């Protein structure tokens, strides 16, 4: 079966984009990786309306990408902070890959907003697609074979 003969209704890329493919959603996740935890801080930093932010946070909570943790400042009521779950933290390579592509093709002339480096040696961090077998080397699209998986269905 060839790609154009396959249904994409159960495609994992499509399912992933259904969860996190909206611009504001990934910016919220980006900020969560960089220590933003509170509703007002997300709203102020990302530049969202309260309604849009509340909707995106609700979706991220429902998808298990964020979880809430109660906090209380003295003299105030208990409120919720937003924290990444393991599922949310697993999006880190996606964000680093988007950043890496952006630095190559749409970078600000003054340089990157964030400089991500390995804590041990100080080298820049990058995302690489590699073989999971013994050939731990960077791969290009021409280096791989794509076959229908067990979930492939014929186009109706």
Is the residue at 148 inside a domain?
no
Can you give the residue range of the structural domain that contains 103?
Answer: 3-143
Q: Given this model, what pLDDT does residue 156 score? A: 78
Is the residue at 151 inside a domain?
no
Q: Among 1-5, 37-41, 74-78, where is mean pLDDT lowest?
A: 1-5
More reliable by pLDDT, 69 or 1: 69
Is the residue at 153 inside a domain?
no
Q: How confident is the model at residue 83 (pLDDT cuts 50, 70, 90)?
A: very high
Q: What's the average model confidence in pLDDT over 129-142?
A: 90
Q: Is the model's pLDDT at 1 over the cut of 80?
A: no
Coil, helix or strand for 38? strand
Q: How many domains does the chain have?
A: 1
Q: How confident is the model at residue 50 (pLDDT cuts 50, 70, 90)?
A: very high
Is the residue at 149 inside a domain?
no
CATH of the domain at 85: 1.10.10.10
> What's the predicted TM-score (pTM) here?
0.88
d(CA 129, CA 77): 47
Q: What is the DSSP string of 75-123?
A: TS--EEEEEE-HHHHTTHHHHHHHHHHHHHHS--TT--S---B-TTT-P
Is the residue at 17 inside a domain?
yes
Instruction: Report the C-alpha dihedral over residues 84, 88, 91, 95, rounded to 10 degrees.
Output: -40
Q: What's the average model confidence in pLDDT over 86-110?
A: 96
Burial of 85 (0-12, 13-18, 19+ CB in 10 A): middle
Is the residue at 156 inside a domain?
no
CB–CB of 45/31 below 8 Å? yes
Is the residue at 150 inside a domain?
no
Q: Is the model's pLDDT at 144 over the cut of 80?
A: yes
Q: Is the model's pLDDT at 8 over the cut of 90?
A: no
């Amino acid at each position: 079966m060839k790609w154009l003969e396959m249904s994409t209704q159960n495609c994992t890329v499509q399912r992933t984009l259904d969860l996190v493919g909206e611009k504001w959603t990934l910016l919220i996740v980006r900020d969560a990786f960089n220590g933003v935890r509170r509703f007002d801080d997300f709203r102020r930093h990302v530049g969202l309306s309260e309604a849009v932010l509340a909707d995106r946070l609700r979706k991220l909570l429902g998808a298990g990408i964020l979880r809430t943790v109660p906090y209380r400042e003295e003299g105030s009521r208990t409120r919720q902070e937003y924290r990444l779950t393991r599922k949310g933290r697993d999006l880190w390579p996606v964000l680093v890959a988007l950043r890496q592509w952006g630095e190559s093709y749409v970078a600000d002339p003054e340089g990157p907003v964030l400089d991500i480096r390995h804590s041990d040696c100080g080298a820049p961090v990058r995302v690489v697609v590699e073989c999971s077998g013994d050939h731990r080397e960077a791969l290009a699209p021409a280096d791989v074979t794509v076959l229908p998986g067990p979930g492939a269905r014929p186009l109706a």
